[in-house]
Amino acid sequence: MEVMMGSKNFALIGAAGYIAPRHMKAIKETGNELVAALDPYDGIGIMDSNFPQADFFTEFERFDRFVDKWHRDTGKKIDYVSICSPNYLHDSHIRFALKSGADAICEKPLVLNPHNIDQLKVIEEETGQRVYNILQLRLHPSIIALKEKIAKELKEDPDKVYDIDLTYLTSRGKWYFISWKGDTAKSGGIASNIGVHFYDMLIWIFGEVEENIVHLKTADTNAGSFKLKNANVRWFLSVNYDYIPETIKASGQRTYRSITVDGEELEFSGGFTDLHTRSYEEILKGNGFGLDEAYPSIRTVSTIRNLEPVGLQGTHHPFCEKVVAR
């Protein structure tokens, strides 16, 4: 772990969420300070083991006032605002960060639609601040090794096309569909909520999306296929426990993640624990992933959201049969 020189001041929006502890850990492990945090939910014991002295707010208006007043009272500024709020609020909270004179570090999906990124670029220009997206898979050792391997092979054969299956099943209870995550207008749907970073990784390695087809679209499952510049991809995403393979269920696990490239399984089950800290290290060096890097995957999930499913036509993911059989 690399500790940065010169402590920076952070604020955090969405402190009670699932992903917020990773951001707190990253702020702490990179030697920085959390000054203030915001969340409508006020039961946040995780603050005690990270930044017990941080000011905490349950109302945005009071948080906004504090950030402005703290700057005037202390002569210091909030350098970064980390954003872990519900997906549909990311755009607004990024704007707040930039207009407050801070850079924004935002969880995926950065925003729900490509036109939001276009507007954020304008605000970056106006304020001189930067927006960074957490795209942690790009920092995973196995993914980096795959990118290097594919780049070498494509140098020898630029027209090579790989066959890829992406399967990601992460079981969620009934609460999921009652929460904002179950509301497509707020989460962007299954593809935006749990698929966007996988799409980003595949586009990063195999090239832009040339064709985008959705085979199935239900409240708990999305499935489809992409034609990338150098790959044909079949993908299946679900939060339904029933679709997890029996061998995985038998081991007591509730998550199944698989990516195969030309039939060969990509092993990347471990190595995730420190990727947020690695992301922060790179951002603090000025090497983070900005708006341009986020654009392809956001365009992809926005397209998926607006496409009508075609059913089990053409080349579909084999798990689609599980959905139809129910």
**Bigger pLDDT: 314 vs 193:** 193
Given a contact cutoff of 8 angstroms between Cβ atoms, the answer to whether 307 and 214 are in contact is yes
Q: Residue 105 in 3-state DSSP?
A: strand
Q: Are strands 103-106 and 80-83 parallel, antiparallel or unpaired?
A: parallel
User: Can you tell me the mean pLDDT for 55-84?
Assistant: 97
Q: What is residue 326's predicted lDDT score, i.e. its pLDDT?
A: 67
Q: What is residue 2's predicted lDDT score, i.e. its pLDDT?
A: 46
Q: What is the CA radius of gyration of the chain?
A: 20
Angle between helices 90-99 and 114-127 (to 10 degrees): 10
Share of the chain above pLDDT 70, in %: 97
Structure tokens at 148: 């290097």
Residues 165, 168, 169, 170: what is their CA dihedral angle, to the nearest 10 degrees?
Answer: 170
What's the mean pLDDT when you consider all of the chain? 95
> Would you tell me how many other CB atoms lie within 10 Å of the CB of residue 24?
24
As a whole number of angstroms, the distance between CA 264 and CA 266 comes to 6
Residues 273, 2, 47, 64: what is their CA dihedral angle, to the nearest 10 degrees?
Answer: -110
User: Can you tell me the mean pLDDT for 17-41?
Assistant: 96
Structure tokens at 112: 């729900």
- Mind listing the pLDDT tens digit for each residue in 229-285? 999 999 999 999 999 999 999 999 999 999 999 999 997 776 667 899 999 999 999
Tell me, what amino acid is at 24? Answer: M
pTM: 0.95
